[in-house]
Structure 1
Amino acid sequence: MQEIGQNRNEEETDEALVKAFQAGNTEVFPALVARYLKLIRRKACSFREIFSLEREDLYQEGLLGLFDAANTYARDGGASFETYAGRCISNRIVSAVRRSASRKNSFLNNAVPIDAVTDLDAGQKTDPQALLESRDELDRVLRNAHVSLSDFERRALLLYLGGYRRAEIERRLGIPARAFDNAMARVRKKLRQK
Protein backbone atom coordinates (compact mmCIF):
# COMPACT_ATOMS: atom_id res chain seq x y z
CA MET A 1 0.00 0.00 0.00
CA GLN A 2 2.88 2.31 0.72
CA GLU A 3 4.26 1.74 -2.80
CA ILE A 4 0.98 2.89 -4.31
CA GLY A 5 1.17 6.10 -2.24
CA GLN A 6 4.75 6.64 -3.35
CA ASN A 7 3.83 6.19 -7.01
CA ARG A 8 0.97 8.64 -6.54
CA ASN A 9 3.37 11.19 -5.04
CA GLU A 10 5.70 10.78 -8.03
CA GLU A 11 2.87 11.64 -10.42
CA GLU A 12 1.70 14.73 -8.52
CA THR A 13 3.02 18.19 -9.27
CA ASP A 14 5.22 20.00 -6.79
CA GLU A 15 2.42 22.45 -6.09
CA ALA A 16 0.00 19.59 -5.27
CA LEU A 17 2.52 18.05 -2.88
CA VAL A 18 3.09 21.40 -1.19
CA LYS A 19 -0.65 21.95 -0.86
CA ALA A 20 -1.00 18.54 0.80
CA PHE A 21 1.98 19.29 3.07
CA GLN A 22 0.51 22.62 4.13
CA ALA A 23 -2.79 20.84 4.84
CA GLY A 24 -1.00 18.64 7.38
CA ASN A 25 0.09 15.61 5.33
CA THR A 26 3.75 15.42 6.40
CA GLU A 27 4.20 12.11 4.56
CA VAL A 28 4.60 13.97 1.24
CA PHE A 29 7.69 15.88 2.35
CA PRO A 30 10.10 12.99 1.57
CA ALA A 31 8.80 13.09 -2.02
CA LEU A 32 9.71 16.79 -2.19
CA VAL A 33 13.13 16.04 -0.71
CA ALA A 34 13.72 13.35 -3.34
CA ARG A 35 12.85 15.82 -6.10
CA TYR A 36 15.01 18.64 -4.76
CA LEU A 37 17.99 16.79 -3.28
CA LYS A 38 20.05 17.22 -6.45
CA LEU A 39 19.40 20.98 -6.42
CA ILE A 40 20.32 21.19 -2.72
CA ARG A 41 23.58 19.34 -3.32
CA ARG A 42 24.48 21.51 -6.31
CA LYS A 43 23.86 24.75 -4.40
CA ALA A 44 25.71 23.48 -1.32
CA CYS A 45 28.72 22.36 -3.35
CA SER A 46 29.10 25.80 -4.91
CA PHE A 47 29.84 27.16 -1.42
CA ARG A 48 31.75 24.15 -0.15
CA GLU A 49 34.80 25.02 -2.23
CA ILE A 50 35.02 28.57 -0.88
CA PHE A 51 34.28 28.22 2.81
CA SER A 52 35.28 25.76 5.48
CA LEU A 53 31.79 24.50 6.24
CA GLU A 54 31.11 20.79 6.31
CA ARG A 55 29.20 19.40 3.35
CA GLU A 56 26.58 17.83 5.63
CA ASP A 57 25.97 21.17 7.35
CA LEU A 58 25.31 22.83 4.01
CA TYR A 59 22.99 20.00 2.96
CA GLN A 60 21.10 20.36 6.21
CA GLU A 61 20.71 24.10 5.65
CA GLY A 62 19.42 23.37 2.14
CA LEU A 63 16.88 20.89 3.51
CA LEU A 64 15.74 23.49 6.03
CA GLY A 65 15.36 25.94 3.15
CA LEU A 66 13.19 23.41 1.32
CA PHE A 67 11.13 22.88 4.48
CA ASP A 68 10.66 26.65 4.82
CA ALA A 69 9.63 26.84 1.17
CA ALA A 70 7.07 24.06 1.60
CA ASN A 71 5.61 25.83 4.64
CA THR A 72 5.44 29.33 3.17
CA TYR A 73 4.76 28.83 -0.56
CA ALA A 74 1.73 30.67 -1.88
CA ARG A 75 0.68 29.90 -5.46
CA ASP A 76 -0.69 33.40 -5.90
CA GLY A 77 2.85 34.76 -5.46
CA GLY A 78 3.42 34.35 -9.19
CA ALA A 79 6.42 32.01 -9.06
CA SER A 80 6.41 28.25 -9.48
CA PHE A 81 7.29 26.19 -6.44
CA GLU A 82 10.52 25.13 -8.14
CA THR A 83 11.64 28.74 -8.46
CA TYR A 84 10.50 29.63 -4.95
CA ALA A 85 12.17 26.57 -3.41
CA GLY A 86 15.41 27.30 -5.27
CA ARG A 87 15.49 30.82 -3.80
CA CYS A 88 14.66 29.59 -0.29
CA ILE A 89 17.36 26.91 -0.46
CA SER A 90 19.95 29.38 -1.75
CA ASN A 91 19.04 32.01 0.83
CA ARG A 92 19.27 29.51 3.68
CA ILE A 93 22.71 28.27 2.55
CA VAL A 94 23.99 31.82 2.00
CA SER A 95 22.79 32.82 5.48
CA ALA A 96 24.66 29.87 7.00
CA VAL A 97 27.83 30.82 5.12
CA ARG A 98 27.53 34.42 6.29
CA ARG A 99 27.00 33.34 9.89
CA SER A 100 30.01 31.08 9.68
CA ALA A 101 32.21 33.79 8.21
CA SER A 102 31.05 36.54 10.56
CA ARG A 103 33.39 38.16 13.05
CA LYS A 104 31.56 36.76 16.04
CA ASN A 105 32.49 33.26 14.89
CA SER A 106 36.10 34.12 14.10
CA PHE A 107 37.41 32.57 17.33
CA LEU A 108 35.70 29.30 16.46
CA ASN A 109 36.80 29.43 12.81
CA ASN A 110 40.44 29.84 13.87
CA ALA A 111 40.28 27.30 16.68
CA VAL A 112 42.44 24.20 16.83
CA PRO A 113 40.75 20.92 17.80
CA ILE A 114 41.62 19.98 21.36
CA ASP A 115 42.65 16.48 20.24
CA ALA A 116 45.37 17.98 18.07
CA VAL A 117 46.69 20.04 20.97
CA THR A 118 46.80 17.12 23.39
CA ASP A 119 48.52 14.90 20.80
CA LEU A 120 51.21 17.51 20.23
CA ASP A 121 51.78 18.03 23.93
CA ALA A 122 52.05 14.32 24.68
CA GLY A 123 55.12 13.78 22.49
CA GLN A 124 56.90 16.97 23.48
CA LYS A 125 56.71 16.63 27.26
CA THR A 126 59.00 13.60 27.32
CA ASP A 127 61.50 14.78 24.70
CA PRO A 128 63.89 17.44 26.12
CA GLN A 129 65.11 18.41 22.63
CA ALA A 130 61.57 19.06 21.41
CA LEU A 131 60.80 20.99 24.59
CA LEU A 132 63.86 23.19 24.05
CA GLU A 133 62.96 23.76 20.38
CA SER A 134 59.39 24.70 21.24
CA ARG A 135 60.70 27.09 23.89
CA ASP A 136 63.00 28.70 21.30
CA GLU A 137 60.06 29.00 18.89
CA LEU A 138 57.93 30.62 21.59
CA ASP A 139 60.73 33.08 22.37
CA ARG A 140 61.01 33.97 18.67
CA VAL A 141 57.25 34.54 18.40
CA LEU A 142 57.25 36.70 21.53
CA ARG A 143 60.18 38.80 20.20
CA ASN A 144 58.31 39.33 16.94
CA ALA A 145 55.16 40.15 18.87
CA HIS A 146 57.01 42.68 20.96
CA VAL A 147 58.35 44.45 17.88
CA SER A 148 55.25 44.36 15.67
CA LEU A 149 52.42 44.79 18.20
CA SER A 150 51.24 48.09 19.60
CA ASP A 151 51.35 48.64 23.35
CA PHE A 152 47.59 48.10 23.61
CA GLU A 153 47.75 44.86 21.56
CA ARG A 154 50.66 43.62 23.71
CA ARG A 155 48.74 44.26 26.94
CA ALA A 156 45.63 42.52 25.58
CA LEU A 157 47.70 39.53 24.41
CA LEU A 158 49.56 39.22 27.73
CA LEU A 159 46.32 39.22 29.70
CA TYR A 160 44.82 36.70 27.29
CA LEU A 161 47.86 34.42 27.54
CA GLY A 162 47.82 34.90 31.31
CA GLY A 163 44.52 33.04 31.42
CA TYR A 164 42.25 35.96 32.23
CA ARG A 165 38.66 35.68 31.10
CA ARG A 166 37.40 38.00 28.41
CA ALA A 167 35.24 40.05 30.78
CA GLU A 168 38.19 40.47 33.17
CA ILE A 169 40.48 41.63 30.33
CA GLU A 170 37.88 44.15 29.19
CA ARG A 171 37.53 45.45 32.76
CA ARG A 172 41.30 45.66 33.36
CA LEU A 173 41.92 47.47 30.08
CA GLY A 174 38.75 49.58 30.36
CA ILE A 175 37.58 48.69 26.87
CA PRO A 176 34.37 47.33 25.31
CA ALA A 177 34.17 43.74 24.05
CA ARG A 178 34.43 44.84 20.41
CA ALA A 179 37.75 46.62 21.04
CA PHE A 180 39.20 43.46 22.61
CA ASP A 181 38.00 41.29 19.70
CA ASN A 182 39.49 43.73 17.19
CA ALA A 183 42.81 43.85 19.07
CA MET A 184 43.05 40.05 19.15
CA ALA A 185 42.23 39.85 15.43
CA ARG A 186 45.05 42.30 14.69
CA VAL A 187 47.41 40.28 16.92
CA ARG A 188 46.62 37.05 15.07
CA LYS A 189 47.07 38.73 11.70
CA LYS A 190 50.42 40.24 12.67
CA LEU A 191 51.73 37.01 14.19
CA ARG A 192 50.74 35.00 11.11
CA GLN A 193 52.71 37.40 8.91
CA LYS A 194 55.90 36.84 10.90
Structure 2
Amino acid sequence: MYRKNDYELLYLICEDNETAQYSLIEKYNLLVWKSVNNVYNGYVPQGIERDDLYQEGSIALFGAFNSFDVDRCVPFFAFAKLCIERSMIGYMRKFSTLSSKQFYNSLSLDAFISDDVNLYFSDVLADNQEVSILTKYDEQVGHLYLYSPIITDFEKNVLILQIAGFSYSESANHLKCSVKKIDNTIQKIKRILN
Protein backbone atom coordinates (compact mmCIF):
# COMPACT_ATOMS: atom_id res chain seq x y z
CA MET A 1 0.00 0.00 0.00
CA TYR A 2 1.34 3.39 -1.02
CA ARG A 3 1.69 6.38 1.29
CA LYS A 4 1.29 9.03 -1.38
CA ASN A 5 -1.15 11.84 -1.88
CA ASP A 6 -4.26 11.43 -4.02
CA TYR A 7 -2.74 13.02 -7.11
CA GLU A 8 0.27 10.71 -7.10
CA LEU A 9 -2.02 7.71 -6.65
CA LEU A 10 -4.26 8.91 -9.49
CA TYR A 11 -1.23 9.22 -11.75
CA LEU A 12 -0.19 5.67 -10.86
CA ILE A 13 -3.74 4.44 -11.50
CA CYS A 14 -3.57 5.97 -14.98
CA GLU A 15 -0.42 3.87 -15.46
CA ASP A 16 -2.46 0.73 -14.56
CA ASN A 17 -0.97 0.30 -11.10
CA GLU A 18 -3.38 -1.96 -9.18
CA THR A 19 -1.71 -1.35 -5.82
CA ALA A 20 -2.32 2.39 -6.16
CA GLN A 21 -5.92 1.71 -7.11
CA TYR A 22 -6.37 -0.53 -4.08
CA SER A 23 -4.82 2.15 -1.83
CA LEU A 24 -7.18 4.84 -3.10
CA ILE A 25 -10.18 2.53 -2.76
CA GLU A 26 -9.22 1.81 0.86
CA LYS A 27 -8.76 5.51 1.53
CA TYR A 28 -12.18 6.48 0.11
CA ASN A 29 -14.15 3.47 1.37
CA LEU A 30 -15.32 5.47 4.39
CA LEU A 31 -16.52 8.27 2.09
CA VAL A 32 -18.62 5.78 0.13
CA TRP A 33 -20.23 4.46 3.33
CA LYS A 34 -20.80 7.98 4.63
CA SER A 35 -22.51 8.90 1.36
CA VAL A 36 -24.64 5.75 1.58
CA ASN A 37 -25.81 6.75 5.04
CA ASN A 38 -26.49 10.35 3.99
CA VAL A 39 -28.52 9.28 0.97
CA TYR A 40 -30.22 6.33 2.70
CA ASN A 41 -31.48 8.45 5.58
CA GLY A 42 -33.57 10.45 3.13
CA TYR A 43 -36.28 9.07 0.86
CA VAL A 44 -35.33 5.67 -0.54
CA PRO A 45 -37.62 3.81 -2.96
CA GLN A 46 -38.84 0.37 -1.97
CA GLY A 47 -36.45 -2.40 -2.92
CA ILE A 48 -33.19 -0.50 -2.49
CA GLU A 49 -30.85 -1.63 0.27
CA ARG A 50 -27.74 0.01 1.71
CA ASP A 51 -25.54 -2.59 0.00
CA ASP A 52 -27.03 -1.65 -3.38
CA LEU A 53 -26.13 1.98 -2.79
CA TYR A 54 -22.64 1.01 -1.59
CA GLN A 55 -22.05 -0.97 -4.76
CA GLU A 56 -23.27 1.92 -6.90
CA GLY A 57 -21.04 4.32 -4.95
CA SER A 58 -18.01 2.05 -5.37
CA ILE A 59 -18.58 1.89 -9.12
CA ALA A 60 -18.83 5.69 -9.18
CA LEU A 61 -15.54 5.91 -7.27
CA PHE A 62 -13.84 3.79 -9.95
CA GLY A 63 -15.30 6.12 -12.56
CA ALA A 64 -13.99 9.13 -10.65
CA PHE A 65 -10.46 7.68 -10.82
CA ASN A 66 -10.56 7.69 -14.60
CA SER A 67 -12.47 10.92 -15.21
CA PHE A 68 -10.75 13.23 -12.73
CA ASP A 69 -9.08 16.22 -14.38
CA VAL A 70 -6.23 17.82 -12.40
CA ASP A 71 -6.40 20.98 -14.53
CA ARG A 72 -9.83 21.90 -13.15
CA CYS A 73 -8.36 22.87 -9.75
CA VAL A 74 -10.89 20.82 -7.79
CA PRO A 75 -9.77 18.58 -4.94
CA PHE A 76 -10.20 14.89 -5.70
CA PHE A 77 -12.13 14.39 -2.45
CA ALA A 78 -14.83 16.87 -3.53
CA PHE A 79 -14.96 15.40 -7.04
CA ALA A 80 -15.23 11.82 -5.75
CA LYS A 81 -17.94 12.77 -3.25
CA LEU A 82 -19.96 14.47 -5.98
CA CYS A 83 -19.61 11.48 -8.33
CA ILE A 84 -20.59 9.01 -5.62
CA GLU A 85 -23.66 10.91 -4.42
CA ARG A 86 -24.90 11.69 -7.95
CA SER A 87 -24.53 8.05 -8.90
CA MET A 88 -26.55 6.94 -5.87
CA ILE A 89 -29.28 9.50 -6.53
CA GLY A 90 -29.44 8.45 -10.18
CA TYR A 91 -29.71 4.83 -9.11
CA MET A 92 -32.63 5.68 -6.82
CA ARG A 93 -34.34 7.67 -9.58
CA LYS A 94 -34.02 4.69 -11.87
CA PHE A 95 -35.80 2.50 -9.34
CA SER A 96 -38.56 5.00 -8.67
CA THR A 97 -39.78 4.82 -12.29
CA LEU A 98 -43.04 3.08 -13.12
CA SER A 99 -41.47 -0.03 -14.64
CA SER A 100 -39.34 -0.77 -11.61
CA LYS A 101 -42.26 -0.06 -9.27
CA GLN A 102 -44.21 -2.70 -11.15
CA PHE A 103 -41.29 -5.10 -10.76
CA TYR A 104 -40.93 -4.56 -7.02
CA ASN A 105 -44.67 -4.51 -6.38
CA SER A 106 -45.34 -7.66 -8.38
CA LEU A 107 -46.88 -10.62 -6.66
CA SER A 108 -45.29 -14.01 -6.32
CA LEU A 109 -47.45 -17.04 -7.04
CA ASP A 110 -45.77 -18.68 -4.05
CA ALA A 111 -46.81 -15.90 -1.64
CA PHE A 112 -49.68 -16.19 0.82
CA ILE A 113 -52.87 -14.34 -0.10
CA SER A 114 -53.01 -12.87 3.40
CA ASP A 115 -51.21 -13.37 6.69
CA ASP A 116 -54.44 -14.70 8.18
CA VAL A 117 -55.44 -17.03 5.33
CA ASN A 118 -53.24 -20.04 4.69
CA LEU A 119 -53.61 -20.02 0.87
CA TYR A 120 -51.14 -19.31 -1.89
CA PHE A 121 -51.96 -17.24 -4.98
CA SER A 122 -51.18 -20.30 -7.09
CA ASP A 123 -53.92 -22.19 -5.19
CA VAL A 124 -56.46 -19.55 -6.17
CA LEU A 125 -55.74 -19.58 -9.90
CA ALA A 126 -57.27 -22.29 -12.03
CA ASP A 127 -55.19 -23.67 -14.89
CA ASN A 128 -57.09 -21.68 -17.51
CA GLN A 129 -57.05 -18.33 -15.72
CA GLU A 130 -54.76 -15.47 -16.62
CA VAL A 131 -52.10 -14.22 -14.22
CA SER A 132 -53.46 -10.69 -14.83
CA ILE A 133 -56.21 -11.60 -12.37
CA LEU A 134 -53.59 -11.21 -9.65
CA THR A 135 -53.00 -7.62 -10.65
CA LYS A 136 -56.70 -6.84 -10.31
CA TYR A 137 -56.74 -8.75 -7.03
CA ASP A 138 -53.81 -6.72 -5.71
CA GLU A 139 -55.55 -3.44 -6.63
CA GLN A 140 -58.76 -4.53 -4.92
CA VAL A 141 -56.93 -5.66 -1.79
CA GLY A 142 -55.13 -2.31 -1.79
CA HIS A 143 -58.51 -0.57 -1.72
CA LEU A 144 -59.56 -2.93 1.05
CA TYR A 145 -56.82 -1.64 3.33
CA LEU A 146 -58.21 1.87 3.00
CA TYR A 147 -61.23 0.54 4.87
CA SER A 148 -59.18 -1.42 7.42
CA PRO A 149 -60.13 0.73 10.41
CA ILE A 150 -63.86 0.12 9.88
CA ILE A 151 -63.93 -3.61 9.12
CA THR A 152 -62.80 -6.49 11.31
CA ASP A 153 -60.07 -9.00 10.49
CA PHE A 154 -62.66 -11.69 9.84
CA GLU A 155 -64.53 -9.41 7.42
CA LYS A 156 -61.25 -8.61 5.72
CA ASN A 157 -60.46 -12.32 5.28
CA VAL A 158 -63.92 -13.03 3.88
CA LEU A 159 -63.55 -10.18 1.42
CA ILE A 160 -60.08 -11.34 0.37
CA LEU A 161 -61.43 -14.81 -0.38
CA GLN A 162 -64.36 -13.36 -2.32
CA ILE A 163 -62.07 -11.12 -4.38
CA ALA A 164 -59.93 -14.18 -5.07
CA GLY A 165 -62.99 -15.91 -6.54
CA PHE A 166 -63.91 -18.39 -3.82
CA SER A 167 -67.52 -19.46 -3.46
CA TYR A 168 -69.37 -18.98 -0.17
CA SER A 169 -68.94 -22.65 0.73
CA GLU A 170 -65.21 -22.65 -0.11
CA SER A 171 -64.74 -19.51 1.97
CA ALA A 172 -66.65 -21.11 4.84
CA ASN A 173 -64.42 -24.20 4.67
CA HIS A 174 -61.21 -22.14 4.73
CA LEU A 175 -62.38 -19.91 7.58
CA LYS A 176 -64.05 -22.78 9.47
CA CYS A 177 -67.46 -21.15 9.79
CA SER A 178 -70.95 -21.52 8.32
CA VAL A 179 -71.99 -20.43 4.83
CA LYS A 180 -74.66 -18.24 6.46
CA LYS A 181 -71.97 -16.36 8.41
CA ILE A 182 -70.04 -15.75 5.16
CA ASP A 183 -73.21 -14.45 3.48
CA ASN A 184 -74.04 -12.17 6.42
CA THR A 185 -70.47 -10.85 6.45
CA ILE A 186 -70.55 -10.09 2.71
CA GLN A 187 -73.86 -8.23 3.10
CA LYS A 188 -72.45 -6.23 6.02
CA ILE A 189 -69.33 -5.31 4.03
CA LYS A 190 -71.48 -4.16 1.10
CA ARG A 191 -73.43 -1.87 3.44
CA ILE A 192 -70.20 -0.49 4.93
CA LEU A 193 -68.52 0.14 1.58
CA ASN A 194 -71.59 1.76 0.02
TM-score, normalisation: structure 2: 0.58
Q: Which amino acid aligns with 2:22?
A: P
Distance 1:14 1:46, change over 3 A: same
Quote how far apart the aligned CAs of 1:159 are: 8.8
> Match of 2:17, as an amino acid?
N
Aligned positions of 1:19-168 closer than 5 A: 19-49=11-41, 50-51=43-44, 52=46, 53-112=48-107, 116-117=111-112, 123-124=118-119, 160-161=132-133
TM-aligned CA distance change 1:42 to 1:18, over 3 Å: same
SS in 2 for 1:24: coil
1:12 maps onto 2:4 in alignment:
yes
The structure with more radius of gyration: 2
Bigger helix share: 1
Identity of aligned residues (%): 22
CA distance in 1, matches of 2:141, 2:14: 50
What is the Cα deviation at residue 160 of structure 1? Answer: 2.8
Alignment partners' CA distance in 2, 1:162 and 1:34: 47
Aligned AA (1:56): D
Q: Identify unmatched segments of 5+ residues in structure 2.
A: 125-129, 148-194
How far apart are residue 124 of structure 1 and its match? Answer: 3.2
Runs of 4 or more consecutive aligned structure 1 residues displaced over 4 Å after TM superposition? 112-115, 118-122, 186-192
User: Per-residue deviation at 1:123?
Assistant: 3.5
Name the TM-score, length of structure 1 as normaliser.
0.58
Deviations 1:102-125 (A, max 9, x none): 122111232345654499799337
Would you say how many aligned residue pairs link Structure 1 and Structure 2?
A: 137
SS of structure 1 residue aligned to 2:74: coil
